[in-house]
Amino acid sequence: MNITDSFALFLEQHEQIKATAKEAQLALERIKSTGNVEGYQEVLDKLVKLKAELMEHSRQEEEVIVPLVEKMYHSPEMAHYVEDEHVQMEEDLLAIKKQLRMHISEEREQLDEEVFVKTKRFLTQTVTHIFEEESGLFPMLRGYLLQMEK
């Protein structure tokens, strides 16, 4: 797969990730407004789906983006920033899923405010991360690649 195809794939994956994050957000808002305990499982299912999408996307980005960032900056530290961001997202998501599973197993009738805020923040950060890649990192890398072709 060439770099142009990789960027096209990343953008497609971004659209799917944003859609899943939005579904999770809506399910989360329903729990908050209705107090429906069955909604916990729906949010958890959306987060499991989101994790799978993010993990595949991160793996592919790290194969393509990380080496480019390393070349562009002549520094592995900048490339590690991309990897570290992905690791942090995975850790945050695991903690949220653990808390939701606890709510389910304990049959809590109300969503803990901390879990609600953490989940909402994570979903917002996920979409923000995508925006930053699309508006900053990807155009910068495309410019670098064009410059290298000359």
Task: Sketch the domain layout of the chain as residue ranges.
Answer: 3-149
pLDDT band with cut points at 50, 70 and 90 for residue 64: very high
Note the pLDDT of residue 104.
85
Instruction: Please state which CATH number belongs to domain 3-149.
Output: 1.20.120
pLDDT above 70: residue 141: yes
The 3-state secondary structure of the chain reads: CCHHHHHHHHHHHHHHHHHHHHHHHHHHHHHHHHCCCHHHHHHHHHHHHHHHHHHHHHHHHHHHHHHHHHHHHCCHHHHHHHHHHHHHHHHHHHHHHHHHHHHHHCCCCCCCHHHHHHHHHHHHHHHHHHHHHHHHHHHHHHHHHHHHHC
Q: What is the pLDDT of residues 19-63, one digit of tens each?
A: 999 999 999 999 888 877 778 899 999 999 999 999 999 999 989
Q: Give the pLDDT confidence score for residue 18 in this predicted structure.
A: 98
Lowest mean pLDDT among 10-14, 41-45, 108-112: 108-112
Model confidence pTM above 0.85: yes
Structure confidence at residue 1 (pLDDT): 67
